[in-house]
Amino acid sequence: MQTIISTCSRRHFVKGIAFGAAAFMVPGVFAEELVRTPRQTEGPFYPDKLPLDTDNFQGFGRFLTGSSGEYYFRTIKPVPYPGRTPHIHFKIKRGNKELLTTQCYIKGEQRNQQDGILRSIRDAKARESVIVDFAPVKGSRIGELAARFDVVLGITPEA
């Protein structure tokens, strides 16, 4: 009887190893496939040089990412201007190399449907990847909002 149990266990183990190896070869088995963040226009208002004072909102700023790519910054909630829905521009660099310029938009904003730059993203998944939820910060006394915008570059670490 012990031999049968051992054989069954071994068979299950071998099947498990085979399934596990196959799962690593099939995209999206453990999580959704990532969608590369689409490139978008830089816009006409980027300065040639950033100001020396980088700790106050001035319409633009910069920040460094953490070791695992996370970032954090504070700003005001974007508002519309003629011809555009509210959005925030992002320019991602590594050293002096520009990797991506894109924008993020507010989920549920009615003007999104009329924004030509947002609509120019033809792939629905890519378009959805740049629309983020600005949700109230729990416990905030002044009505602060927080948003999470994951940028997917699709490059190798050596790039």
Q: Give every CB contact of residue 120 below 8 A, 6+ residues apart in sequence.
A: 40
Provide the CA 137 distance to its chain's centre, in angstroms.
19
* φ and ψ at residue 120, rounded to 5 degrees: -70, -15
Q: Tens of pLDDT along the chain (159 residues)?
A: 343 443 444 554 454 555 555 555 555 555 457 899 999 988 766 666 666 666 675 666 677 788 888 888 878 888 998 999 999 988 888 888 989 999 999 999 999 999 999 999 999 999 999 999 999 999 999 999 999 999 998 755 554
The DSSP H or E segment spanning 6 is helix 2-25
Pick from 154, 150, 147: nearest CA to 108: 147
Q: Which residues on adjacent β-strands are paired with residue 151?
A: none
Assessment of whether the complete model's pTM goes beyond 0.85: no
Pick from 115, 91, 2: nearest CA to 39: 91
